[in-house]
Amino acid sequence: MTGKRRGFTLIELLVVIAVIALLMAMLLPAIQRVRESANRMLCASNLKQFGVAMHNFHNDYQMFPQGGNVPWSGIWRSSPLVAANDLPNQGAGWAFLILRYIEQDNLAKSLDDWQIFSTPISFYNCPSRRHNVIVTISGRAGMDYAAATPGAAPWSWDQFWYGTTWTWDINNPPANAPYYGVIVRTSRLSKVQLNEGSIPDGTSNTIVLGEKWLRPDSYLTGDWHDDAGWTDGWDPDIIRYAAIPPLRDCNGSPYGWDGYQFGSPHVAGMNALFADGSVRNVKYDVDLTLFNNLCDRRDGAATNLNGLD
């Protein structure tokens, strides 16, 4: 006579479940760390592609692409049924100007402004945040990277308004306003080039672009500084201010400068593109004077690169 098959007791079953839960608790953080490391590398690769595009743009125009003219400037055309204007008579900023250098020539030539506004470009978004996003607040394709413009000194809000950034009236900038980042305002019409005359600090010591600070609860909806997308003009969608510390994404900035600072979803810091085409990690606790200096192409003060990886 065959003996009865013995099943699991309730206690044995609970032990097995507990062991599985423990193993999952141990493995999940490791999996998340690996995933985040891969995303941070992909994000750095995005910035590398920006660097290559900007250098190719420079080869053709003998200058870096400019930052556009005014917020929500739209695509400037001589008439509705012709291709977008070329430099310098273009209100849209650097992310629009490099389209032909990232295999988006057909999009750059589109006569349909809304098609351009609402077309996501994969490497314009950080994979730790969102992918090919169209923000619901405006229906426009989102952008996770911005050009750097410096302040006169750390926390110099007055310079933010009256000096290097918006300068009095954001919609009517004076032609002689100073801009000391690598990406300058279109109305300035200055040619920032790959030479010591334009970038006396040296291309390896000067930040061109970095990741933007965003609120995680607004990744998909957008925000006032994340609504016009990559087709914007001189606006926090594509331009950020370096006189504020970079900050890890959070639902409300402790500095009270929501929408103006750089930042990132990454744990270790933000990725930044330098004028020589290299990408480095900038830690959140980087010395603010150093960070501001690195975003100023002509201050001559960026020497100690502690706080960067």
DSSP tag of 141: B
Q: How far apart are CA 257 and CA 200, in angstroms?
A: 30
Query: Is there a contact between 145 and 210 (Cβ–Cβ < 8 Å)?
Result: yes
Q: How far apart are CA 199 and CA 296, in angstroms?
A: 9
Q: How far apart are CA 71 and CA 69, in angstroms?
A: 7
pLDDT score, position 165: 62
Q: How far apart are CA 125 and CA 218, in angstroms?
A: 14
Handedness of CA 37, 38, 43, 45 (dihedral sign): positive
Choose among 234, 222, 228: nearest CA to 187: 234
Choose among 54, 83, 78: nearest CA to 203: 54
User: What residue ranges of the chain have pLDDT lower than 50?
Assistant: 1
| Residue with token string 């032909």 | 100
Query: Is there a contact between 249 and 225 (Cβ–Cβ < 8 Å)?
Result: no
Q: How far apart are CA 156 and CA 31, in angstroms?
A: 41
215 φ/ψ sector (left φ>0, alpha ψ -120 to 50, else beta): beta
Q: Would you call 296 helix, strand, or coil by DSSP?
A: coil
pLDDT score, position 37: 72
Q: How far apart are CA 137 and CA 261, in angstroms?
A: 21
pLDDT score, position 153: 85
User: pLDDT by residue (tens digit) across 88-142?
Assistant: 788 899 999 999 999 999 999 999 999 999 999 999 999 999 999 999 999 999 9
Q: Would you call 304 helix, strand, or coil by DSSP?
A: coil
The model carries a pTM of 0.86
Burial class, 273, CB count within 10 angstroms (exposed 0-12 / middle 13-18 / buried 19+): buried
User: pLDDT by residue (tens digit) across 20-37?
Assistant: 777 777 666 655 665 777
Query: Is there a contact between 105 and 96 (Cβ–Cβ < 8 Å)?
Result: no
What tokens appear for 79 in the block? 């008439």
202 φ/ψ sector (left φ>0, alpha ψ -120 to 50, else beta): left
Query: Is there a contact between 144 and 125 (Cβ–Cβ < 8 Å)?
Result: yes
DSSP tag of 263: E
Q: How far apart are CA 34 and CA 158, in angstroms?
A: 42
For residues 142-152, one letter each, b for 16 or more C-beta atoms within 10 angstroms of the residue's C-beta and e for the rest, the string is bbbbbbbbbbb
The enclosing H or E element of 211 equals strand 207-211
What tokens appear for 158 in the block? 């007055």
